[in-house]
Chain A
Amino acid sequence: MSKTPLAFTPSTVPVTIDPEKCIADKGCTVCIDVCPLDVLAVDMAKGTAYMKFDECWYCMPCERDCPTGAVRVEIPYLLR
């Protein structure tokens, strides 16, 4: 197959992280560890967690298990 062009498609993400509360810069990875879909990651430049892949089951372990209450899960826009 010849090279297939890829487009950038923007998408709003359901999981948001409060940078004031997030302690990923101190080595915390709880939300990333518990996500069944493995969609969260640490933004190395900012030192906070963020939703890297729009593949959320809105199941909430990330929010429930966050030690500082930094994570908020909304229902994905397409279902809201």
Chain B
Amino acid sequence: MQTHEREYDVVIVGGGTAGPMAAIKAKQSDPQLRVLLIEKAAVRRSGAISMGMDGLNNAVIPGHATPEQYVREITIANDGIVNQRTLMAYATNSFETIEELDKWGVRFEKDETGDYAVKKVHHMGSYVLPMPNGHDIKKVLYRQLKRARVEITNRLVATRLLVSDSSAGRRVSGVMGFDCRSADFHVIRAKAVVLACGAAGRLGLPASGYLFGTYENPTNAGDGYSMAYHAGAELSGIECFQINPLIKDYNGPACAYVTGPFGGYTTNAQGQRFIECDYWSGQMMWEFFQELQGGKGPVFLKLDHLADETITAIEQILHTNERPSRGRFHTGRGTDYRQRMVEMHISEIGLCSGHSASGVWVDERAQTTVAGLHAAGDMACVPHNYMLGAFVYGRFAGESSAQFCANHELAATDEEVIERERQRVWAPLQREGGLPPNQVEYKLRRMVNDYLQPPKVTRKMELGLERFEAIREDLDHLSARDPHELMRALEVHAIRDCAEMAARASLFRTESRWGLYHARVDFPHRNDAEWFCHVQLQQNERGEMTCFKRAIEPYIIPIAVDERDAYQQLRTQVTAAPVAA
């Protein structure tokens, strides 16, 4: 096994959605920059959109929505806990990014006048734009990466960032990792780094028990959250979990966003609608949970009332895009949308700001609290940011990195730190007869379900922390038979970090907020007097995981009192039927 040392201006970790955009924009900002994109899989088919995407969930398009409306909607949907400046930066650059993607060859649905065919899925405004040929999106990105002459290294698993401390504070100085085919160790020095590693999608264990049967692409194991944490960056909103309404067992999206505009909707077992709006929010998941608790489940996606040609159109989208094996799953179960409703369930937990709000704290230029370090996409805290948010913040991260390079030289790196990391990474290969990574991962993720799945109970979360501490000791006994298993072993380290973060941030916020995402049995009410603030999580000087409050910046878009609780009123209002005499 060898060690390779390289030097770049900008290194981007993660080649899914935000990463390629960051790389392209860094290079466009300054073509002289040496830009490297590293990816643990292969950029051509990596990340959450490896098989494409069926639409934009948060398009802010003139004539359909304004940035102000969007900022208001997401502020309300996320129960007030947002940095509105980051939402506004997204919203005002949303349309320009759509036009650029359009120019690159991504096809969006348009009406007969050539205008974008925007649909309403959110509770208040209209932001959903279908992409009928969205399965090509990775190809489009790849072409642009080649055109911009971005260097790419695939199958390189980043494990830790290098940082350098001075009187001016901390700044990033590089990335370390290993090749999951050869186990070679890599040290890449850089002036600026962009983390775009996706969600922590391998946190809870799916009810199927299959480790890789997750909602998120399971390559997204929380590596980015863990690396940012160990580099000393602030994270935020970790307690605002991602919990999704999914197709039972298949664990992919039922896709009410796609089917809603065609007339599909979510129902209880009696075929009755119980929520007015299928947009994913903590409150929506709370109503879903209540329906199950009240004995009215299972919950279904109902399409069987639609015309045959409508269903054919829906199948065409859902069975070729994003998760195309879905059609095969339905065939195996004998589910034809024309005759049978699709059984749904509540997913295991994850961390993901693309859908919810957990992520690395960033400003409106994608800068973290460590100088030169940026984060974008699902792992950066810009609530409900989805795929288009990853593109927009990818762009910000690329542009800001290029700017950082213009004013900074390479920072110093510490040889002792590098040697320690190399030993940590290689240790499982040198250990005989230790613990297999798949077993440790299974147990860890089962404990996440047992102790952290909401509703959250204080005593259970405390016990969960004890278990996660015990598993920390098991990490020193992980063994790997080959470089592939080594990748799984190192992912277990990251998953464990994320489990501990999820428990600590949840314990810190002693109130309930975001519906099911942070429903605390011991503190059942929302408490704005004490908790109208962000909960930040960070490693302190003693290496301990700590939480603290960060004040919410004054809103730039005020929220009226009568709007504030719009997302609390999702349950369908039923007028009592007259009782027959």
Number of residues from A at the complex interface, CB < 8 A:
30
A56→B212 contact, CB < 8 A: yes
**Chain B: minimal CB distance from A15 (Å):** 11
A residues near B42, Cβ cutoff 8 Å: 33-36
Q: A59-B217, A60-B325, A78-B208 are in contact. Are A34 and B44 (CB under 8 A)?
A: yes
B102 within 8 A of A: no
Hey, what's the 0/1 contact readout for A58-80 against B, CB within 8 Å counting as 1?
11110011000000011110111
A55 and B325 contacting across the interface, CB-CB below 8 Å? no
In the bound complex, do residue A76 and residue B213 qualify as a contact, i.e. CB atoms below 8 Å apart?
A: yes
Assuming the A-B contacts A3-B432, A37-B219, A55-B218, are A61 and B325 also in contact, with contact meaning beta carbons closer than 8 angstroms in the complex? no
Do B332 and A75 have beta carbons less than 8 Å apart? yes
| Cβ of B558 under 8 Å from chain A | no
Query: B217 touches which one: A1, A36, A52 (CB < 8 A)?
Result: A36
Contact B325 A75 (CB under 8 A): yes
State whether A6 touches B432 (Cβ < 8 A).
Answer: no
For the complex, give the distance between the alpha carbons of A36 and B48 in Å. 10
Indicate whether B188 reaches chain A with its CB closer than 8 angstroms.
Answer: no
How many CB-defined contacts (below 8 Å) exist between A and B?
Answer: 93
Task: State which of B208, B213, B219, B435 has its C-beta within 8 Å of the C-beta of A4.
Answer: B435
Query: Nearest CB to that of A2 among chain B residues?
Result: B433
**Residue among A53, A61, A79 with most chain B CB within 10 A:** A79
The majority secondary structure among interface residues of chain B is: loop
Chain B residues within 8 Å of A58, by CB = 325
Inter-chain CA distance A4–B479, complex, in Å, is 10
Q: Kindly list chain B residues whose C-beta atoms are within 8 Å of the C-beta of A1.
A: 433-435, 477
- Digitize A1-22: 1 where CB-to-B-CB distance is under 8 Å, 0 elsewhere: 1111110000000000000000
Please state if A61 and B212 are interface contacts (CB–CB under 8 Å).
Answer: no
Residue of B nearest to A39 (CB): B484
Please, which residues of chain B bring their CB within 8 A of the CB of A3?
432-433
A43 CB contacts on chain B under 8 angstroms: none
Q: Is the interface of A mostly helix, strand, loop or mixed?
A: loop
**Taking the complex as formed, is B370 at the interface, i.e. its CB lies under 8 A from any CB of chain A?**
no
List which B170-218 residues lie within 8 A (CB) of chain A: 180-181, 208-214, 217-218
Known contacts A4-B434, A57-B218, A60-B325; is A79 also within 8 Å of B41 by CB?
A: no
Identity of the chain A residue whose Cβ is nearest the Cβ of B157 in the assembled complex: A38
Residues of A within 8 A of B213 (CB): 57, 76, 78-79
Count, chain B residues at interface, CB 8 A: 40
- CB atoms of B324 and A60 under 8 A apart: yes
Contact call B210/A36, Cβ cutoff below 8 A: no
* A51 nearest CB across to chain B (Å): 12
- Given the known interface contacts A4-B433, A56-B212, the answer about A79 and B250 at a Cβ–Cβ threshold of 8 Å is yes
Smallest CB gap from A62: residue in B: B45
B155 cross-chain contacts in A, Cβ below 8 A: 38
Report the minimum CB–CB distance from A12 to chain B (whole Å).
Answer: 12
B46 within 8 Å of A by Cβ?
Answer: yes
- Chain B residues with CB below 8 A from A59, complex form: 50-51, 217, 323, 325
Q: Is the CB of A65 within 8 A of B45?
A: yes
- Asked if B487 is an interface residue, CB under 8 A from chain A, the answer is yes
Beta-carbon contact of A37 and B41 below 8 Å = yes
Q: Which residue of B lies closest to A80 (CB)?
A: B332
Contact A60 to B51, CB < 8 A, known contacts A34-B45, A36-B217, A37-B218 = yes
Q: Are B51 and A61 within 8 A (Cβ)?
A: yes
Task: Find the B residue at minimum CB distance from A77.
Answer: B210
When distances are taken between beta carbons in the complex, the residues of chain B under 8 Å from A53 are 484
Residue B298 CB within 8 A of the other chain:
no
Cβ–Cβ < 8 Å partners of A74 in chain B:
328
- Chain A nearest CB from B120 CB (Å) reads 30
Residues of chain A with a CB closer than 8 A to B328's CB: 73-75
B104 at the interface (CB under 8 A from A): no
Instruction: List B residues at the A interface (Cβ < 8 Å).
Output: 41-42, 44-47, 50-51, 155, 180-181, 208-214, 217-219, 249-251, 323-325, 328-329, 332-333, 432-436, 477, 484, 487-488
**Given A33-B42, A35-B42, A60-B51, list of 19 further CB < 8 A pairs?**
A1-B435, A1-B477, A4-B434, A6-B436, A34-B42, A36-B47, A37-B212, A38-B155, A38-B484, A55-B218, A56-B212, A57-B214, A59-B50, A59-B217, A59-B325, A61-B50, A75-B329, A78-B213, A79-B329
